[in-house]
Structure 1
Amino acid sequence: MKPVFVQPDPAGPAIELTDVTVRADRTPLIQHVNWRVDYGQHWVVLGRNGAGKTTTMSVAAAQRFPSSGTAVVLGRRMGTVDLRDLRTYIGLVGAAQRLPDETGHTAHTVVLTGHSGSVLPLWERYDDTIRDRAAKLLELVGCANLAERPVRVLSQGERARVRLARALMADPMLLILDEPFAGLDLPAREDMLAALHTLAAAQPKLATVTVTHHLEEIPVTTSHLLMLRAGTVLAAGPIADTLTDADLSDCFDRDLAVHRIGERWAAHAR
């Protein structure tokens, strides 16, 4: 029977993976992953290249079925609902993600395309309310002054924040940011972190997951941490309890020391 669309359950978990394994050509990419994200929580995911971060996120974003185990996204078990509809409630932001028609459209137009989920703007679908929402989201991420500027002239950091605003146009219940700071210089990184801080305050029920390699890129709003190593969960829980010297050293196979500077995190090799 073809799965049918069911409204996401706001009372259920945003993500719940139970004993999830994903294989490719019989090779396990992740194994026996158990992970739960509730609404309003802000998770960061750490791990070396090849640790399984991308595969785990593909399941969490309802982009890929597990080979075994159970995956619940937005309170609905994968395999019982139409994933195409479920994905409309999930915002995705990635450094490698191209913006629609980067050569000609303004930042405001690109954000509008997030409402229709289209590569090109579908003008007939954008009424004054939707156009106003796009403008307010650009303001939320600190890009109100860039609304009428062509995307092609924006810096990498400005484009990163436009991607964030575009992902928010569909009013997602879950936001996944896959290495959103890649390629950004220090000022651009700090602007992006400030935008995420503002977003958390503006939408307290939104669940977010940020994938990064660097502790300095962990948003100050982060409440929980997932560490992956060789396709398995090394640690998961409140960040203050799980971001330890021992676990971080195991995660990256290097003797590392963790520092807390105000509300920010950092690490160095001993």
Structure 2
Amino acid sequence: MTMILELEGVSRRRDDKMLLDGVDWQIQKGEHWVLYGLNGAGKTSLLSLINAYFFPTTGKVTVLGMEFGKTYLAEKLRSQIGFVSSSIQQKLPPQDNAYEVVLSGAYASLGLHQETTEEVDRKGVEILRELGCLEYANRNYHTLSQGEKQRVLIGRALMADPALLILDEPTAGLDFIAREELLESIAMIAKKPEGPTIIYVTHHIEEILPEFNKTLLLKEGKVFDSGDTDKLINSEQLSRFFNIPVTIVWTNGRPLLSKRVMS
């Protein structure tokens, strides 16, 4: 199988603080991973590393066949990674509509600053249709609901046919209905045989979809455990992870987490 990501003994230190400590992680094409950790676990540092915003202090990083330190790779690498984060929303031009935001993904730009081709236009319409965004394609992006904005950002990320799609807490700030609708769209993308490998970042266990077949548990900058989701996400393992007794119940292929009441 094709290796999408390989981290070997990766650490990252900033001043006297260890942000990442001895991280080993391999992702094969066709796998879809959950990156799970509480606030401050190091998830943001790990994503910044994968996107080549900084290099590791120690260790080896290879993403999409490109080894860090061998060549200047940031621009080339990021063109093959679709990255979705709510932080992008504030960086988009105030006048752009949803369709223009999606089209800008074809050029890896924040805003549409050039004439598009018919092929790009058609692809943008098709992606909007698949994600259920076509009805508000001409509305100003910044007037959309949070769920609609995130759906459009996913469309933008898909325009470049990325090999790797990173979804950084995409359901943050969504109500239950909007969250479930967005998760349905993500599941649709994950099911595509020729679709991108997905890294889904969250600190909400109930967002783990059946399509996410692998999970990495990150705690205090270290890999607590990683492997098959159905073997990793259980009451015993997560009680150790949280250091409190918890219960996991699987319903419709998704886990539900609760704190265990001790009698």
TM over 0.5: yes
Partner residue, 1:43: 33
The 1-side partners of 2:258 and 2:193 are apart by: 33
- What does the per-residue CA deviation read over 1:200-244, in whole Å, with 9 as the maximum and x for residues that have no partner? 223545211011111111223101000011111111001011112
How large is the RMSD of aligned CA atoms in angstroms? 1.6
Alpha-carbon shift at residue 192 of structure 1 (Å): 0.8
Aligned partner of 2:108 in structure 1 is 117
Structure 1's unaligned 5+ residue stretches are 1-10
Q: Give identity over the alignment, percent.
A: 36
Write the distance in 2 (CA, Å) between the matches of 1:152 and 1:63: 27
Which residue type is aligned with residue 120 of structure 1?
G
Amino acid corresponding to residue 219 of structure 2 in structure 1: R
Query: C-alpha displacement at 1:246, in angstroms?
Result: 2.4
**CA positional deviation for 1:104:** 2.1
5 Å matches for 1:1-270?
Answer: 12-81=2-71, 82-98=73-89, 101=92, 103-124=94-115, 126-270=116-260
Asked if the contact 1:257–1:269 (Cα under 8 Å) also holds between the matched residues in 2, the reply is yes
Please give the per-residue CA displacement for 1:34-73, whole angstroms capped at 9, x wherever unaligned.
1101111110011111111111122222222111000110
Structure 2 counterpart of 1:157, which letter? G
- Determine the structure 2 residue equivalent to 1:3: none
- Per the alignment, do residues 61 and 214 of structure 1 end up closer, same or farther by CA in structure 2, a change over 3 Å counting? same
CA distance in 2, matches of 1:192, 1:94: 14
Per the alignment, do residues 90 and 262 of structure 1 end up closer, same or farther by CA in structure 2, a change over 3 Å counting?
A: same
Is the CA contact 2:216–2:226 (under 8 Å) kept in the aligned structure 1? Answer: yes
CA gap of 1:101–1:33, structure 2 versus 1, over 3 A, is: closer
Question: Which residue of structure 2 aligns with residue 5 of structure 1?
Answer: none
Q: For each residue in 1:116-171, what CA deviation from the matched residue of structure 2 results, as whole angstroms up to 9, or x when unmatched?
A: 122231232x1110011111111222212121222122110000100100011111
Aligned length: 259
* Preserved CA contact (<8 Å) 2:80 2:162: yes
Pair 231,225 (structure 1): closer, same or farther in 2 beyond 3 Å: same
Residues 47, 251 of structure 1: 8 Å contact kept: no
Q: Which runs of 4+ in 1 moved over 6 A?
A: none
Tell me what 1:4 maps to: none
Task: Please list the CA deviations of residues 6-55 of structure 1 after superposition, one character each: whole Å capped at 9, or x if unmatched.
Answer: xxxxx641111001001001321111111101111110011111111111
Q: State how far apart, in whole Å, the 2-side matches of 1:19 and 1:252 are.
A: 24
Gaps of 5+ in 2: none
Whole-angstrom distance in 1 between the partners of 2:38 and 2:205 = 13
> Structure 2 length normalisation: TM-score?
0.93
